[in-house]
Amino acid sequence: MNTKRIFLILLVFQSYWAAIGAQNLFTTAEMAKANTAANATYLSDDEKQVVLYMNLARLDGERFFKSFIPGYILENNAVYTPKISSNNKYLTSLKTDLYKVKNLQMMVPHKPLSLAAQYHAKDMGRKGSTGHDSSDGTACFKRIERFFPKMGCAAENCSYGEMSPLSVVCQLLLDDCVPSLGHRINILNPSMAMVGVGIAPHKTYKSNCVTDFSCDAPEADRNEINSDLHPNQSD
């Protein structure tokens, strides 16, 4: 990805962060490192940004928390009740967990996982449903396997009602009222190396985002992972 494009993306993000009172503590080089989906032609801009923000949390959890979580809480509390207080146990545990995260591998976009995620996001959106199983009863991992037969370990996150990529990732990391913290665990799992993203309109919640994860593939599958990525360009 060329330097000019990174700079333009940063300007857009900084305008948003300023509007919600947040301050991005990541450098241009770190943003570029985390932006592994920049040239994935099968992802929308919002889907690419979901990958970016998840990778930033994996790159440096403490700086992610300081950069984005306070702004997300302010934004959330302006719209939803009950409000998230400063002593909310999910918020305090998120701070503890993120402060331990440093330099995890960057997840790379994967087309078959993205097709599985996009299928499910559209399916749930049309039906106004929630959950991991398809509307026809197909189990989550059976659906993913249809698109990615060679998958190893796998996991899935579903988010509803959030209207920006950053809010999607913050919601899933916070995992408010989710005792298992399963969404947070998936995003911060060091073993996860590949990710697919699908965002679609939702009949009930306006928008829903599905992210499907998998551990690293055998070397023979690496070309499949990156088959739709254009070579990086530089000035």
Q: What is the pLDDT of residues 43-100, one digit of tens each?
A: 999 999 999 999 999 999 999 999 999 999 999 999 888 899 999 999 999 999 999 9
Q: What is the pLDDT of residues 179-226, one digit of tens each?
A: 999 999 999 999 999 999 999 999 999 999 999 999 965 444 443 444
pTM (2 d.p.): 0.86
Instruction: Quote the CA–CA distance of 211 and 83 in Å, as a whole number.
Output: 26
Instruction: Quote the CA–CA distance of 107 and 49 in Å, as a whole number.
Output: 13
Instruction: Quote the CA–CA distance of 133 and 131 in Å, as a whole number.
Output: 6
Q: 3-state DSSP call for residue 113? A: helix
DSSP state of 221: G
Q: Are the beta carbons of 126 and 209 closer than 8 angstroms?
A: no
Q: Which residues, other chains included, contact 14 with Cβ-Cβ below 8 Å and sequence gap of 6+?
A: 24
